[in-house]
A = this chain, B = another copy of it.
Amino acid sequence: MMKKLTTSLVCCLLSGSLFAQQAPTDSTIIKQFFDMSLDKGQSYQWLRELTKNVGGRLAGSANAAKAVQWGKALLEQQGADKVFLQDVMVPHWERGAKEQAYILNGKQKIVVPLLALGGSIATPKKGIQAEVIEVKNFQELRALGKEKCEGKIIFFNRPMDATKINTFEAYGGAGDQRRSGANEASKLGAIGCIIRSLSSTLNDYPHTGSMVYATGVPLIPAGAISTNAAELLSKTLKENPKTQFFFKQNCQTFDDAPSHNVVAELKGSEKPEEIIVVGGHLDSWDVAEGAHDDGTGIVQSIEVLRLFKTLGIKPKRTIRVVLFMNEENGNRGGIKYAELAKQNGEKHVFALESDNGGFTPRGFGLQGASAETLAKVQGFKPLLSPYGLHEIEKGGGGVDIGPLAPQGTVLVGFKPDSQRYFEYHHAANDVFENVNQRELEMGAASMASLIYLLDKYL
């Protein structure tokens, strides 16, 4: 470093233009991001802190409040120009005591793992027991009609489509069962709803996630069973259509609770009024440590700030690291952030979110970019492809940054490899140990590189 400084100084004395030639090239700076992230990165150790010392942190919980304090202190340590909290009221739902569930095939009772869906009501204290109607989709359910569904538990068992290369597409294609299955079942008089976990693999982990009750429909409890349990229940129903299912959930919704987004700023040197956001969401489901969802996005975003600071790179625009609150069951943090941005007349030019897991980087997806902007960003490919960032495509973004779209902000989603994400998503195995250090660090460097280029050239 010392040698470099000396050379630069000499050049500067000799000639302004010569000095410009000696300034580090973009590819040098990008290499520095990757070198520093991979060799002296902090993101992995921060993720260990967040997952092990804080743990699961559903919005409204004591752990979520702890995460806010952790994030604020950490951002302050990184030497941000300003760190502040944004107040936001969030939903407050609690799972309560561990769920119970079993399949009843005649006299045979087979215990299966089940998680209440986030937002669901509890079952009655004694649980629910009823015959089971298995369907693959709403159409099939409606075709059955009230007569067949009344008093039953509806079992939605449509797997994620394994042939989708991007597993988020497969998740999207199966998500209606979780979000609205209970409503559709209730309309036909069902008393409970269970779904096959939205997972890309066969195993024993149930995957939770949010559901939302429709207005004007009786509320029935909804839970998810593991994919292995779904296979077993389906097989059992084929053998014995009179098979019953029992489940007991103890969850409860409380009054909205106060919480916070955490925001840190690196002030822009030339256009400080133009803001580039980089962030993820600080909340997670309660059943695990929220490692890939979205601890990785949080620590990568903070690492972006650290990389800029450590390498002494001064952005033209203001870079804001935002740790959003409540992505999982309300997106109140994202909505509040956009609201305040509008209120304060801020100009958000780009917002980059990492909320697809801490896997090996593949590229970025852009939403709301003009054809010209998209072409410019795709023009960065020669700089990014040596790091495996080949996919710079239309379509992307993130839940938290979504509410900025109407303000003309270009939304960018960081795109890591998607093959493993839905093994862990919203399940008890979303833990630190299932995050690979190098993959995580490469993601942080990828994000820093894109922000550097966006700030410099757009």
List A residues at the B interface (Cβ < 8 Å): 34-35, 38-39, 162-163, 165, 167, 200-201, 360, 362, 385-388, 390-391, 417, 419-420, 423, 436-439, 442
Contact residues in B for A439 (Cβ distance below 8 Å): 419-420
A437 touches B201 (CB 8 A): yes
A-B contact pairs, 18 of them (CB 8 A): A34-B163, A34-B165, A35-B163, A38-B162, A38-B163, A39-B162, A162-B438, A165-B387, A165-B442, A167-B438, A201-B437, A201-B438, A362-B388, A388-B391, A388-B417, A417-B417, A419-B436, A420-B439
Give Cα A201 to B38, complex, Å: 11
B438 touches A200 (CB 8 A): yes
Contact residues in B for A390 (Cβ distance below 8 Å): 385, 390-391
Instruction: Write the nearest CB–CB distance from A356 to chain B, whole angstroms.
Output: 14
Give Cα A34 to B388, complex, Å: 22
Instruction: Write the nearest CB–CB distance from A257 to chain B, whole angstroms.
Output: 38
Give Cα A217 to B341, complex, Å: 73
Task: With a 10 A CB-CB cut-off, give which of A34, A162, A201, A420 has the most chain B CB atoms.
Answer: A162
Give Cα A162 to B419, complex, Å: 24
Chain B residue, CB-CB nearest to A38? B162
Contact residues in B for A162 (Cβ distance below 8 Å): 38-39, 438
Instruction: Write the nearest CB–CB distance from A310 to chain B, whole angstroms.
Output: 15
Instruction: Write the nearest CB–CB distance from A406 to chain B, whole angstroms.
Output: 32
Instruction: Write the nearest CB–CB distance from A311 to chain B, whole angstroms.
Output: 14
Contact residues in B for A386 (Cβ distance below 8 Å): 165
Contact residues in B for A39 (Cβ distance below 8 Å): 162-163
Give Cα A35 to B163, complex, Å: 5
Instruction: Find A438's partner among B38, B360, B419, B442 (CB 8 Å cutoff).
Output: B419
Contact residues in B for A387 (Cβ distance below 8 Å): 165
Chain B residue, CB-CB nearest to A440? B419
Contact residues in B for A423 (Cβ distance below 8 Å): 436
Contact residues in B for A420 (Cβ distance below 8 Å): 436, 438-439
Instruction: Write the nearest CB–CB distance from A246 to chain B, whole angstroms.
Output: 31
Give Cα A423 to B388, complex, Å: 20
Give Cα A390 to B163, complex, Å: 19
Q: Given contact pairs A165-B386, A165-B387, A390-B390, enumerate 15 new A-B contacts (beta carbons under 8 Å).
A: A34-B165, A38-B163, A39-B162, A39-B163, A165-B388, A200-B438, A201-B438, A360-B360, A360-B419, A362-B388, A385-B390, A390-B391, A419-B442, A420-B439, A423-B436
Give Cα A442 to B362, complex, Å: 16
Contact residues in B for A385 (Cβ distance below 8 Å): 390
Instruction: Write the nearest CB–CB distance from A394 to chain B, whole angstroms.
Output: 15
Chain B residue, CB-CB nearest to A31? B163
Give Cα A86 to B111, complex, Å: 51
Contact residues in B for A388 (Cβ distance below 8 Å): 165, 362, 391, 417
Contact residues in B for A391 (Cβ distance below 8 Å): 388, 390
Chain B residue, CB-CB nearest to A423? B436
Contact residues in B for A437 (Cβ distance below 8 Å): 201
Instruction: Write the nearest CB–CB distance from A211 to chain B, whole angstroms.
Output: 26
Give Cα A200 to B390, complex, Å: 24
Give Cα A270 to B163, complex, Å: 32
Give Cα A437 to B422, complex, Å: 12
Chain B residue, CB-CB nearest to A422? B438
